[in-house]
Amino acid sequence: MLRVLLLTLPVVAIAYAELCKPDAQNAFKVRLSIKTALGDNAYAWDANEEYLFKAMVAFAMRRYSGKSTTQTSNVLLCNVTDRVSFWFVVTDSSKNVTTVPGSEVEAAIRMNRNRINSAFLLSDKTLQFLKITSTLSPPVEPSTPVWLIVFGVVLCLIVAGIVFLVVVGIQQRKKKNKESTERENLEEKGEATATVENGIPCETLDLKAGHINGVFAADDERFTSL
């Protein structure tokens, strides 16, 4: 029994090695740019990270197909380089030594791309599956364009300013008109020139807001008329 096992193991290993090769059928190349994404917080790519990767792919396959048959041992990695790039295939657990079709793997990865990215603290750009394109997220559009709001604010301020200036101008003109008509009326009453005291015509003092001092007014009668 043990001898059979010992004989089949290398056969299986060789067979599996055949499955995971660069440009093999249903194999995908992955490229990670950890230092670009994380800078000083970059982690080193070691066997543990590889194990996590296998687990994430298995998780993706499980979620996609709904069956719970894919194991981490089904995901084969090979040709790991210093760049941190490698190839992987997913073997079919039910059939011996065959790989899951590339379209299925692609669909599974696409469906769970976000989860895979976050497990490695990377993004679509820094964790690249070279044959799998990512769907672009549409830009966020607010319901009212922002510029319309700003424009509304600016326009309201300007219109308020114009209305204010026009109203002030009309008021000033009415005051000027009133005074010029008063001066004309006074001139019509007989005086050729209006005497001015301190910039104020004497007649207006008399007519508008001057107070008649009763003492002096009464004294007028004491003088003999000429």
Q: Which residues are near other proteins by CB under 8 A?
A: 31, 33-36, 81-85, 135-136, 138-139, 146-147, 150-151, 154-155, 158-159, 161-162, 165-166, 169, 172-173, 175-176, 179, 199-200, 204-205, 208-209
Rounded to the nearest whole angstrom, what is the least distance from the CB of residue 15 to other proteins in the complex? 26
Minimum Å gap between C-beta 217 and other proteins is 21
Q: How far is the CB of 102 from other proteins (least distance, A)?
A: 20
Picking from 120, 114, 56, 118, the residue whose alpha carbon sits closest to that of residue 90 is 56
Nearer of residues 40 and 221 to other proteins, judged by Cβ:
40
Query: Token digits for 99?
Result: 């790989």
Residue 11 or 153: the one with the smaller Cβ distance to other proteins is: 153
Cβ nearer to other proteins, comparing 10 with 139: 139
Task: Bin 66: left if φ > 0, else alpha if -120 < ψ < 50, else beta.
Answer: left
Note whether 27 and 20 are within 8 A (CB): yes
What is the distance between the alpha carbons of residues 196 and 205, in angstroms, rounded to a whole number? 10
Residue with smaller CB distance to other proteins, 35 or 115: 35
**Angstrom distance (rounded) from CA 91 to CA 100:** 6
Residue number with CB closer to other proteins (31 or 62): 31
Q: How far is CA 226 from CA 169, 191, 215, 216, 223, in A?
A: 51, 22, 21, 19, 9
Dist. CA 111–CA 105, nearest whole Å:
10
- Residue 101 CB, nearest distance to other proteins (Å)? 23
